[in-house]
Each structure stands twice: as C-alpha cells, then as structure tokens.
Amino acid sequence: MAGAAQQPLPVVVLISGHGSNLEAIIEATRCGELPVDIRAVISNRPDAPGLTISRRAGIETVVIDHTCHADRAGFDATLQTSIDAFEPGLVILAGFMRILTPGFVNHYRGQLINIHPSLLPEFPGLNTHQRVIDAGREVTGATVHFVTAETDGGPAFLQARVAVRRDDSAETLAARVLRQEHRLYPQAIHQLAAGRVALATGDQVTLDGVPLETVPVLDTGA
Ligand code: GRF
C-alpha cells in the first residue's frame, strides 16, 4: 500500500525587516520543494517591508508592535499567545530583530530556529559583515540554529560558506551571504519538516537519529 502523503508542517514566521528569507521560504513552498504550511507571518514592526510580501502571498499577517509594550516580558507574552493560536510545529525567525526572553525560548524548545549571517559560533550579534572584514577572514557564511536563551548561541545544524573578497565592503559581502541564506534556510527547514533534524536532551542536535558531531555545510559554490 502506498504511504500517505506527508502532512505539511505548520509554521509561523517572525520578521522585522525586508523579509527576503521569508520570500525564499514562500517560494520554496509554492514550488512544492518545502512541505510546510505557513499559517502566519508576525512582525514586531508595522512598517516592515516583509509584510507586503506576506500579504501578497495571501498569508495571514499580524503586527505586534513592541513599542506598544511596557517591557520585553509583556511583548513576549503577547507574541507567544498570538503564535500559539496558529498551533505551529515550528517557529521560524527570519530577520526578527528582538532578543527573546528565556521563558519564551524555552516554551518553543526544539521548535524555534534562526538564521544568522556568519559561521557561528564566530561573529554572533550585529554588524557581522564589517567585523568579518576587519578580522581579515577569507571565509564567512550563514548558520541555521535552534534558538536557546543565549543570543545566536543555540546549537547549529546547517551552514553555508561564502568566500570574502579582498575588495568586499560590508554591503557587498552581506548581499552575497544573503543569496546563500535564501538557499540555506529552505533546506534547513526541509530537514525539520521531514523529521530528520531534532534537538535532543543536553542541546544535542540529531540528524536521522544520530548525534551531530560537526555542522554540515551546504556546497553552494560561493
Ligand atoms: C539576514 O541576514 C538574516 O541572517 C539576519 O537578518 C537578515 C534578514 O534579512 N538574521 P531578510 O529580512 O530576510 O531580508
């Protein structure tokens, strides 16, 4: 008997800005490459350009303006209630520029992922590309990781590398890394949707049930 078609994984995507990673996820889904059901896009900024991408795609779009909340805990509580109403199996941070409280992060343990534009654990935080250039690095990249209470510090499970050119500015480097992010993030989400990647006890990532010793790197040719 043929097996039943796999149910798409319900997801919610959180954004703050341009939403180009969101767009890549929507495209991969639309083209049948990514078995996810994007139940909602939530932005903490009412003017985020990514909101247009989401609305145009017909996805339910929610704004929760962080400036209208007295503190981080209050914002996170509202955000959590909104997310949970969509019953996602995965929450995807795609350029979501807010530090999340440990309570929020723990609520979604193993179901909350982020993409960061460096080869973590190197260069966490902001202003990544300029710091990579200033440090004289010849290779940088992007990392998809589970989110834990430590900002950009959760266990990684897929990376892409990008060569740094001698004449790169932070802007040119950011643009090339971003292009690779658009390939990397859908593939990483695919691994989760297919049940191949999981977060086990002790913050150990497993791939196909086997503990991941080194973070796999996509061959992007970049
Ligand atoms: C990306 O570089 C991502 O790695 C970082 O924020 C940026 C978001 O870009 N977390 P976009 O909004 O997806 O275009």
Question: Into how many domains does the chain fold?
Answer: 2
Question: Are residues 103 and 181 located together in one domain of the fold?
Answer: no
Q: 115 CA to middle of ligand 1, Å?
A: 7
Closest C-alpha to ligand 1, atom 10: 95
Task: Please state the pTM of the whole predicted model.
Answer: 0.96
**Ligand 1 pocket member 141 (CB < 6 A):** no
**CA 76 – CA 98 distance, rounded (Å):** 10
Low-confidence residues of the chain: pLDDT under 70: 1-5, 219-222
pLDDT at 2: 44
Question: Are residues 120 and 104 located together in one domain of the fold?
Answer: no
Q: Enumerate residues 6+ apart whose C-beta is below 8 A from 98.
A: 16, 44, 66, 72, 75
**Ligand 1 pocket member 17 (CB < 6 A):** yes
Give catalytic status of residue 116 as yes or no.
yes
Distance set, CA 41 to CA 10, 62, 120, 222 (Å): 12, 6, 26, 30
Closest C-alpha to ligand 1, atom 2: 117
pLDDT at 166: 96
Give the DSSP H or E segment for 74.
helix 72-85
Q: Which domain holds residue 185?
A: 114-222
Question: Are residues 130 and 199 located together in one domain of the fold?
Answer: yes
Distance set, CA 206 to CA 41, 61, 187, 214 (Å): 28, 33, 16, 11
Tracing tokens 């989110």 back to the chain, one arrives at: 147
